[in-house]
Structure 1
């Protein structure tokens, strides 16, 4: 795509762009502003400009503009208050994250002034820095005070402690959960004995601060030179290799632009032959010490019911080989392909191995119903007649990871891969569970388990963008064990993160800011978490310092 040659990407016609307002103290780089100029401003700057016009316009202009500016400042104030001050007004909806879109809808509801409404929010703190999170919680309290009911699904500690009523569901995930463990005010939750949430809130369990951090070497580092994409201010940053580094900063400070759009895309072109275009920078040095680039995100491991953890991690291959080696299978001449639901032979042809039949619902989303022939087992009757210890291939796919590990514990190629799934806290998922039913956090941990089971070169660069999204304290503890295990193999881990429990365990921290939008894009501080906590210029350091002062709990997670 290319900008429109007529409007140069402004999207307004000549008549609309011919109306100007005087500049204000918030917009010194403009002599006068038209609608396009105003829409390109970050919300914080646009808010200050609107307030400036309220004070400077006189005569008939003031009479006309006063009610309009009152509405504009109110709506911009709501957006700024929910932590979106760094966004440009002209930002397209398709480039917004899920958390940003949710907070925009929240701001519009605050501005509506409705009462008697039930608001349901699913993790509104996603992608928010601790400072912005405090503003969000204040906005939610304002909604409540308007005589509304606010129902929030959340893992954030501040949100839990702010709530008037808490419902804790567990005790664990998957089939080991689904029970109400505790409910009531925060004091009632904290006194619950079998609640993992209470364990972490009271300090009975915790994610400890490392007693010793890995050392960095000036000779082994990856450096991005003169990055100027989006709001980055000609930034040169070095990422130490062989350690776990967190990239921090307030929302919109330029973290993702630096790491994902610049570093990741540039290395992906060199190492993976990607066509992704990196944002402007002069060059990258030190890449000779990296021979593999892996971006572990929370995108699905597959987009159809056919994809599942067993096929993604590669454990299904050895399982099929084992079934093909059984005496009954050999007697019938069955090979490993007979036990695959992706090819003809052993699969149920009525559903083509899906176990489900897709029903086209015309203008509504498609619906999947269980296959009436195989009853969801995916294989035909002849294939299901082959058993190992009384279990068919379909029975194995119905097992949880924990059950599968116990079943195959004496078969090293299978047990090793299942063990890695257990180590990342996924013992409860089923081997044949459809990829479409897995959460983003589960999908990400399956990808990590696959990496753990892969023989590493020791020069791999792993990049994760907010991996704690949607994770409970206990899940974060398990995730961190996995990440540090990968780094212990000599690999490098770069994590864009707001979660303080992750930041405090890092070997090195790079803080970008100081603010979001045009007021960001600079290197505020870098060093160990202790060094960041001492930096007066770092907003992250202000919130990190109290956690580092806490002593590690006697019982680690």
Structure 2
């Protein structure tokens, strides 16, 4: 941004738009959100506030009238086998409380409800052991809690207890060493030690009553029979009437697969044991006891298998049920839970099951889950900053989401969206457009005001989009090329797909659309792509896999290129220069300079993975990652190298006056001009400029790229390889693109198609749909209501 001044109205819906790299995110996230985060941390005390100076702060002179800021980014969360829809939306937190307070334990072995165990029954069971059996009666006071627990030991001393079992070892309380406060500890106080004999019942009864009083209902007996010691747990509330098995009282953590108290011990709460479904919990993640607790005759794993829409019915039935003496607690849990679930339905993702893992969700679904988590709190007077919330959405879903964002402003909230969707722009109260280009060609505010006035009096890229000018300038479809034939896919039953069969022509630009959850990704990415990969690798024209269906290829496909939204490169040090392979050639040139030869530097000296060449503190990342308890992980510039990645000796080397850092700081456009005479480098950079990514920096971390940018970088690499008779599959590549960028992107796709390749694009953008040669649409609804083909025909044919 170039010294801009901007006013954002309170309590209104503001859209920030502009071509890629023009400065939208710099204003919304690197300035507004960064300042909001900085101000929040300044209100804290302790270690979090010590990080204040290290937090990134927007380069801004002054921000006035800022409300508390909440960011809803588009970046996918870190992959975790334990992350599900229920955990991400915090719905599971409410369900855990409900099941721990109102749940009925059923014995995993006998499948009967657990009955209360009176002190008399406990006495009868212990006194039934053979005479001369040694028994120690312990009161469980603490289970797996961190701390030194000095107050607990002092209380035991005052009450006259002498011994305690600490982390499994019986010790004299007075001789117990200090506990490590950072480790979890379990403490049981020894109430009595006795030997079973005929006249022991009265003493046993008194001791058991004391144990139950101390531990709030639990009694642990250590039974010593001829030197063999066994443990038996009794509880006055939880005991199986058939097998006499006793159970610990239910806690919230008993229903968390992130906790060892709730997780299945075999798979540790992931549900994938050695890349297969766990043989013990069958993918339900919880241990055997937690899986058999019921509320409303439903156990938690079965409830989580329901869709969000069906779960609302369960909550309503539970709220209307009568719980003796617990009605106030019941309603305090049900009301916010129902609101969260209803918000998810209103956002158009009610078809998702609560146990669906987040790594299987589309980018649009992930962001709506994040948004639902924020909306579920019913905040007022806050500022929500969103990064393209309509990305990847069908027009019907987008309209529903825009309506919710507008409703947010009615409760006094300010909504700021980085967005390109024309319906969102038209619905905005205030519009800010950046431009005129990306990178060094952007950073200026072209317009700030009413969206209606923009289309009337201005000639910016957004104004042209509102007037429909980009549709008029689309290139004509390619009628035919050297690649002909078809793909036949039969009997696909994966996920919600209902025995789908279809034919797709080769050599065409094919678009696949449908409402969220209709089965697009299941059909193209989960079924078609794996079958094509197998057919190409084994050089077969027909392959078949159970569930995925049968694939027949008529024609030639020599290579499959699946271009999704994951970051290019798997390393945290990956950037466009390394991913495209041009940095290898640049390293060779740096190693040939006079100073490198004098100092004995090889090309390895200039890699980010070289301990000899990189900054010792950040190890070549250029940034330090801060972890704070109240904030997400934050990256700050390394104070040692100031973001330059390399150490001083390496930075002293230069090529034509440019150090390694300077070469990485160049935009792709600048680098293309700088390396124009070296074909091995310029040939790899040129496709990035052609595809509209010339504003990216050579060394920009791959993790900072948007989903659309990541796809285009990978597509540019494929373009530089210049092959034909290939098939490209792209997943929502227009994410993050202005209409002007989409028009440029379509030109790049036409170039790939003209070379004799086929292209399948999962997409909803109107410009992309208009440019398509062939269109496939799934629906009519989402989840169980989807999974059918509504249209599969030439794009020019009537719908």
Give me the TM-score of the superposition, normalised by structure 1. Answer: 0.77
Q: Do residues 157 (structure 1) and 422 (structure 2) align? A: yes
Q: Name which of 467, 479, 490 aligns with 1:202.
A: 467
Q: Name which of 744, 747, 753 aligns with 1:487.
A: 753
Instruction: Out of 211-220 and 505-514, give the one that drifted further.
Output: 211-220
Figure out how many residues of one structure are paired with residues of the other and give that number. 507
Which secondary structure does the structure 2 equivalent of 1:482 belong to?
A: helix
Q: Name which of 487, 497, 502 aligns with 2:768.
A: 502
Which secondary structure does the structure 2 equivalent of 1:512 belong to?
A: strand
Superposed, 1:149-548 pairs within 5 Å as 149-191=414-456, 193=458, 195-206=460-471, 208-215=473-480, 220-271=485-536, 280-286=547-553, 289-302=556-569, 306-322=573-589, 328=594, 337=603, 340-342=606-608, 347-348=613-614, 350=616, 354=620, 356=622, 358=624, 365=633, 367=635, 369-370=637-638, 372=640, 376=644, 378=646, 381=649, 384-385=652-653, 387-388=655-656, 390-456=657-723, 458-531=724-797, 534-535=798-799
Q: Name which of 16, 21, 29 aligns with 2:294.
A: 16
Equivalent pair of 1:121/1:151 in contact (CA under 8 Å)? yes
Equivalent pair of 1:221/1:238 in contact (CA under 8 Å)? yes
5+ residue gaps in structure 1? 21-33, 536-557
5+ residue gaps in structure 2? 1-271, 539-543
The structure that has the greater radius of gyration is 2
Structure 1 residues 72 and 332: CA distance shift in structure 2, 3 A: closer
**CA-CA distance at 1:241 after TM superposition:** 1.2
**C-alpha RMSD over aligned residues:** 4.1
**CA-CA distance at 1:303 after TM superposition:** 5.6
Structure 1 residues 72 and 436: CA distance shift in structure 2, 3 A: closer
Which secondary structure does the structure 1 equivalent of 2:364 belong to?
A: helix
Q: Which has the higher helix share?
A: 1
**CA distances 1:490-544 after superposition (whole Å, capped 9, x unpaired):** 111111111121111111111111111111111111112232xx32xxxxxxxxx
Partners in 2 of 1:416 and 1:402 — Cα distance? Answer: 12
Partners in 2 of 1:89 and 1:371 — Cα distance? Answer: 43
Q: Which has the higher strand share?
A: 2
Structure 1 residues 216 and 250: CA distance shift in structure 2, 3 A: farther
Partners in 2 of 1:399 and 1:320 — Cα distance? Answer: 15
Structure 1 residues 351 and 185: CA distance shift in structure 2, 3 A: same
**CA-CA distance at 1:132 after TM superposition:** 1.4
Structure 1 residues 512 and 415: CA distance shift in structure 2, 3 A: same
Partners in 2 of 1:107 and 1:432 — Cα distance? Answer: 35
